[in-house]
Amino acid sequence: MSRRITLDEFIIQSELRQPNSTGEFSGLLRHIGIAAKIVNRIVNKAGLMDILGLDGNVNSTGDVVQKLDTYTNELMIEYLRNSGLCAGVASEELEEYISFPVNRLKLNKYIVVMDPLDGSSNIDVNISVGTIFGVYERKTLDNSYAQMSDFLQSGSALVASGYVLYGTSTMFVFTTGSGVNGFTYDRGIGEFCLSHSQMKMPDDGPYYSVNQAYYNQFSDGVKQFISYCVEQNKMLRYIGSMVADVHRTLCLGGVFLYPGTRKNPEGKLRMLYECNPLSMIVEQAGGMSVSEQKERILEKEINSLHQRSSVIIGSRKLVQKACDLL
């Protein structure tokens, strides 16, 4: 009887195809997979654990923090630290990056950027949320500890990125630069199993996804693009949870956009934790991702940990049309 390959098996097999691999990178990916299972359990049980609701703080980017944001952030950091394979982490929930003590046997060449719980305003009402991560190789290997320049790298330098969607089922979707693969969590065996091999995004699609409540604050180009979508009979879908909105766009085709608004003229979403990792996934699946200024997201320079950007991401034909109108 055929069975589905697990995430661990997939990572190990990919590593065996790289003759010079030290195992450090695949070990780190496997640890992220383990952390995702724990976060999945917590997200699923949140209503029973008194960890729903606000934590009482506002994070470094001005967002109201939910208790579950704090909990998942601490949990992910602990797993990355204990992996012994990660030199540091920058998180949407932290103002500064964290450097981990260097493992004497290894160089700890990788750092991780993450949004531990994206879309957290949806948690209390049982709507899909996600975790987003990106992995970079350090630029300062001669220093014992990871430095700021290790984190301020453009998206084109990502060596891996992915997301976990805590939806009707839990999915782990990732890329190491040679296609995108999706794994669905099988509760029975406690493993992510390959369910979506070599995912490809349709060139066009039936949906557009934007918070249209900000319509009056959008630029003329963005308004024209929204009118184009309406004229083309595209249907509006907006969850307000970027992982879920991008996942639908990836699977069915369409476009997701978060343009500049009065409150956030540069857009709301963060380059390091949201725009870059998801742009790598979408490009690897054949889609496109640009800013409102028509710059390719993955090529944008990163100047600060919490830099924001507008983003238009999705099927090639639709993102190209947006560029024509902007």
Q: Looking at 29, 201, 242, 271, which residue binds ligand AHM (CB under 6 A)?
A: 242
**Per CB under 6 A, which of residues 180..239 are in contact with ligand AHM?**
211
Exposure string of 255-288, with b = 16+ CB inside 10 Å and e = fewer, is bbbbbbbeebebbbbbbbbbbbbbbbbbbbbbbb
Nearer to ligand AHM, 242 or 288 (CB): 242
The reply to whether 118 sits near ligand AHM by the rule CB under 6 A is yes
Q: What angle do CA 241, 247, 252 make, to 5 degrees?
A: 130
Task: Please give the order of strands across the beta sheet that includes 254-258.
Answer: 235-236, 207-209, 254-258, 311-314, 288-290
The reply to whether 120 sits near ligand AHM by the rule CB under 6 A is yes
Nearer to ligand AHM, 121 or 149 (CB): 121
Closest separation in Å from C-beta 225 to ligand AHM: 17
Nearer to ligand AHM, 73 or 175 (CB): 73
**Burial category of 113 from C-beta neighbours within 10 Å (exposed 0-12, middle 13-18, buried 19 and up):** buried
For residues 270 and 303, give the distance between their C-alpha atoms in angstroms, rounded to a whole number: 12
Instruction: Say which amino acid occupies 195.
Output: S
Using CB under 6 A, which of the segments 32-40, 99-107, 119-127, 142-150 binds ligand AHM?
119-127
Q: Looking at 8, 55, 63, 186, which residue binds ligand AHM (CB under 6 A)?
A: 63
Using CB under 6 A, which of the segments 24-32, 41-49, 111-119, 196-204 binds ligand AHM?
111-119
Q: Looking at 27, 88, 116, 119, which residue binds ligand AHM (CB under 6 A)?
A: 119
Closest separation in Å from C-beta 95 to ligand AHM: 15
Nearer to ligand AHM, 68 or 111 (CB): 68
CB 119 within 8 A of CB 239: yes
CB 314 within 8 A of CB 270: no
**DSSP per residue, 162-203:** EEEEESSSEEEEEESSS-EEEEEEETTTTEEEEEE-S----S
Nearer to ligand AHM, 70 or 108 (CB): 70
For residues 87 to 106, the per-residue mask of contacts with ligand AHM, x marking binding by CB under 6 A and - elsewhere, is: -----x--------------
Using CB under 6 A, which of the segments 106-114, 117-125, 162-170, 315-323 binds ligand AHM?
117-125
Count of beta carbons in the 10 Å neighbourhood of residue 61: 16
Nearer to ligand AHM, 176 or 209 (CB): 209
CB 236 within 8 A of CB 212: yes
Size of the site for ligand AHM (CB under 6 A): 13
Lookup: tokens for 37:
């299972």
Nearer to ligand AHM, 124 or 186 (CB): 124
The reply to whether 53 sits near ligand AHM by the rule CB under 6 A is no
Closest separation in Å from C-beta 70 to ligand AHM: 13
Q: Looking at 33, 68, 112, 115, which residue binds ligand AHM (CB under 6 A)?
A: 115
Closest separation in Å from C-beta 7 to ligand AHM: 24
Rounded to whole angstroms, what are the CA distances from 152 to 124, 156, 167, 272, 305? 33, 12, 31, 8, 7
Rounded to whole angstroms, what are the CA distances from 316 to 137, 179, 286? 29, 16, 7
Closest separation in Å from C-beta 118 to ligand AHM: 5
Q: Residue 323: which of 235, 221, 227, 228 has the closest Cα? A: 221
Return residues touching ligand AHM (CB under 6 A): 63, 92, 115, 118-121, 211, 240-242, 258, 268
